[in-house]
Amino acid sequence: MDPKERIEQLRKDINYYSKLYYDEDNSPLSDYDFDMMMNELKKLEKEHPELVTKDSPTQKVGGHANNDFTKVNHEVPLQSLQDVFSFDELFDFDKRIKESGETAYCVETKIDGLSCALKYENGVLIQGATRGDGLIGEDVTKNVKTIKTIPQKLKEPINITVRGEVFISKDGFEKLNAEQEVMGKALFANARNAAAGSLRQLNPKITKERPLDIYIFNVQKIEGVEFNSHWDELNYLSDLGFNVVPFRKKCSNINEAIEAIKEIGDNREELTFGIDGAVIKVDDLKLREQIGTTFKVPKWAIAYKYPPEKKETVLKDIKCQVGRTGVITPVAILEPVKVAGSTISQTTLHNEDFIKEKELKIGDHVIIQKQGDVIPEIVDVLKAKRDGTETDFNMPTVCPECGSPAFREEGEAAIRCTGIECPAKAMLNIVHFASKDGMNIEGLGYKIVEQLLENKLISNIADIYDLTLEDIMTLKKNGKKFAQNLIDAINDSKNRDLSNLISAFGIRHVGKKLAKVLARKYRTLNALMEASVEELTTKDDIGEIIADSIYTFFREEQTIDLVHRLENSGVNMTSLEEESDDDRFSGMTFVLTGTLNKYSRNEASDIIEKMGGKTSGTVSKKTTYVLAGEQAGSKLTKAQNLGIQIISEEDFEKMIK
């Protein structure tokens, strides 16, 4: 490929990944791979200056302001930094600086988060803005005011704009993803994406729930105070009440600066937050003015990126761990080896397919890589070093935590535990059981369940009904009212319909809708538990896979034990709906769209299902009727195009009389 073609391809790829990273807070590419692409582009443009264009990624700051937010013009641009990957490049940087004068350097950790400017008038926070493209950012004032480490009022009534990095700590990220997992929400790929997405929420209440933090690292603009050095600025910011970047070191020359960078690299595993490098800045502020900047980067600062480090070790064994959702994950037990500042003795092998793809055997010599704060991963197998003593690994057929059968769903890579009382799945099972789609126990959400488990007040679903007022009162200061409300909600849940209980079990493929179908057909939980696969498949809604899932679930010892305990606690196990032999809608499928006046959609759906019909969320050739209310949208249009019969609410009432 000639230089022009390669440059165009690199620009296209970099712009694509930049958009994902800066604007959508989600990029599948590692920082190192992105940096290498950018480095190649810079090198090619340096060799062919005639091919440099104004819109090249090398000439502009990544990202732009989202139209969903009010735009903010930065009085002082929030520039990016030039990246380097070797100490030789740092010595070159030092030579360029010395052409303008001698200076000390400040070395700081380069925090992996989202850059943000905070503006204060008379010491009061009036605005928070993202970097955007460096000149125009997004107004996120309401969101930054929810971050506890951002002072609303400074210790002095000063006019100042500062720049910092919003981030989520390592522990905070793990807890956030654990909560996402249990609530059935998508996991964040990394802490940076989580922080950026949390700060740019349109609803500040969501931002408030996220464990955001900030470190301030620069004065953008200040009135009435002058500084000679960046070091003095940072100390002043700390005195004002800001959470200033914690690792910062003043160095008299480039050699000391490089030693500080090595120190950060050696100890980054112990940092409570993620970093993606270290930053060297000229300390003398007047010299900075003399050195100047380009449009994109200051010439007086540079970012050192730690290269990924690879080491050889031995795969001693493979053990399996059970996650909160029941996913059984193989973990490599390694001969301990130091990589990128930390000793690695184990790492995830993801799933069965990963092991097969790498052709891994226990006893293999392997290459592991760790880039920055990313989890180490096996990247290669040294098959030439095999001596015949290596052994194959097979995934377990039962859960290593509780002994229940393990299964792999068709089309999925993960193998899961089926046990409803599995201690590893306790959080997931209890939260789902208490949710609106289950027994609807108001007040028993993720955080309360987490506290109950941590305090060993419960260990499984059935324990909910053994909780006492005194147990719950220990969770909150002056928590008697809360405790009484939760006890009342738990007692109320005993009287829920059978369909709620079936849905609450979290049986594979059985959601709230199918749970209602099963409750109406079998009337009692005992009858459903005794149903054979053949009997279950006589219902149109249930195929062999679903029938087998239901049948297997109710024959597991853990399920039988749970049912007995719930029954002894007084939980209702019968259908509370009146039996009906009215099947006038048998074989018919309805789609509801728009707003109905006399019924909610749930009420209308219940009526249809009680009369033997089905409801669906999508219009197809199999749809019998589309029940259209006011402001019906695309579903109505699609029904008209397919020639599906459309009925009004008035028509529907005539049909159900």
How far does the chain reach from its first CA to its final CA, in angstroms?
A: 74
Neighbours of 128 (CB within 10 A): 25
DSSP designation for 268: G
The CA R_g of the chain, rounded to the nearest whole Å, is 30
- 124 φ, ψ (degrees, to nearest 5): -110, 130
- CB burial of 1-10 (b: ≥16 within 10 Å; e: otherwise) equals eeeeeebeeb
**119 classed as catalytic:** no
Q: What is the DSSP string of 514-555?
A: HHHHHHHHH-BHHHHHH--HHHHTTSTT--HHHHHHHHHHTT
Q: Which of 60, 110, 370, 425 is catalytic?
A: 110
Q: Report how far residue 341's alpha carbon sits from residue 186's, in angstroms, rounded to the nearest whole number.
A: 31
Q: Is 40 exposed, middle or buried (0-12, 13-18, 19+ CB in 10 A)?
A: middle
In terms of Cα–Cα distance, which of 294, 268, 298 is closest to 108?
268
Tokens representing 201?
């929420």
DSSP designation for 289: H
228 alpha carbon, distance to own chain's centre? 42
- CB burial of 312-341 (b: ≥16 within 10 Å; e: otherwise) equals ebbbeebebebbbbbbbbbebebeeeebbb
Measure Cα distances from 590 to 234, 375, 519, 521 in Å: 65, 49, 21, 20
Q: What is the DSSP string of 173-209?
A: HHHHHHHHHHTTPPPPSSHHHHHHHHHT-SSHHHHHH
Tokens representing 557?
């010892």
Q: Report how far residue 179's alpha carbon sits from residue 428's, in angstroms, rounded to the nearest whole number.
A: 9
Tokens representing 472?
């719950």
In terms of Cα–Cα distance, which of 572, 627, 635 is closest to 603?
627
In terms of Cα–Cα distance, which of 414, 426, 441, 385 is closest to 562?
426
Q: Report how far residue 452's alpha carbon sits from residue 455's, in angstroms, rounded to the nearest whole number.
A: 5
SS3 16: helix
Tokens representing 18?
């930049």
Active-site residues, by number, are: 110
